């Protein structure tokens, strides 16, 4: 009888412990399930955020591309609106602009090609940037009465006007007038400190020296 009671008590204890274990397992199971749900939710949220960022970045890139395209289109449209007012050629040579010196009553087309033949026709671009761009735009011309012979008489503050083929003009003011050796090419220097400059170059009688006139853009 005593043995049966002990067995019953032992069985009851085992059942109680099994119940506790089952409850704990169920509790841990619920916790693990919740953790998996949270992890899945975090993963889903991360995927959503990554997709959102991808879409947002794609949209931004498209906006930038559209903006760039629009800018190019606007600039292209603006260029198309400009109308060339000067002839394309003068006596067989391409025209890139016009030189005017009011004091000397000089009004000459500037030719793109600087050759002995072109110099017999008009003044030419010798060196430098595009006309009326930042840098030192150098113009050469023969020492003829009809060319640049009289630039030796230009003084400080005298005006020089350069006009491009579209009719846009820039006014320059003389700041130096000197003579140099034909071997001295320092007058072609492009270090203008961000300013637009023009340099006129011609020969002295007998081509012994060069007459150099330097001018810088005048601001209103």
- Phi first, then psi, for residue 190 (nearest 5°) are -100, 5
What token pair was written down for 139? 């113009």
Query: Is residue 48 within 8 Å of residue 130, measured between CB atoms?
Result: no
What is the reported pLDDT for 38?
A: 47
pTM of the model: 0.65
What is the reported pLDDT for 206?
A: 87
Separation between Cα atoms, residue 220 and residue 217, nearest integer Å: 10
Would you list the domain boundaries of the chain? 1-81, 89-217
Cα 188 to the chain's mean position, in Å?
A: 25
Q: What are the residue ranges in the chain where pLDDT is below 50?
A: 2-8, 35-49, 51-52, 55-56, 59-64, 66-69, 71-72, 74, 76-77, 79
Which helix (H) or strand (E) covers residue 197, if one does? strand 196-203
What is the reported pLDDT for 131?
A: 98
Cα 17 to the chain's mean position, in Å?
A: 81
What is the reported pLDDT for 137?
A: 98
Architecture of domain 89-217: Beta Barrel (2.40)
Query: Is residue 131 within 8 Å of residue 96, measured between CB atoms?
Result: yes
Separation between Cα atoms, residue 18 and residue 36, nearest integer Å: 26
């Amino acid at each position: 009888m005593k043995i049966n009671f002990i067995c019953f008590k032992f069985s009851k204890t085992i059942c109680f412990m099994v119940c506790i274990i089952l409850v704990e397992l169920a509790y841990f199971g619920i916790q693990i399930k919740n953790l998996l749900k949270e992890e899945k939710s975090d993963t889903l949220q991360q995927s959503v955020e990554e997709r959102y960022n991808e879409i947002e970045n794609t949209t931004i890139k498209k906006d930038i591309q559209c903006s760039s395209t629009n800018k190019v289109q606007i600039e292209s449209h603006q260029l198309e609106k400009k109308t060339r007012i000067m002839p394309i050629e003068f006596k067989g040579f391409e025209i890139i602009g016009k030189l005017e010196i009011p004091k000397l009553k000089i009004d000459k087309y500037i030719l793109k090609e600087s050759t002995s033949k072109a110099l017999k026709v008009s003044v030419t671009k010798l060196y430098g940037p595009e006309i009326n761009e930042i840098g030192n735009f150098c113009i050469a011309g023969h020492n003829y009465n009809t060319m640049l012979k009289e630039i030796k008489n230009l003084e400080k503050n005298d005006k020089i006007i350069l006009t491009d083929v579209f009719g846009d003009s820039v006014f320059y003011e003389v700041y130096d007038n000197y003579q140099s050796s034909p071997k001295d090419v320092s007058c072609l220097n492009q270090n203008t400190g961000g300013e637009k400059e023009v340099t006129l170059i011609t020969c002295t009688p007998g081509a012994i020296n060069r007459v150099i006139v330097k001018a810088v853009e005048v601001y209103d």
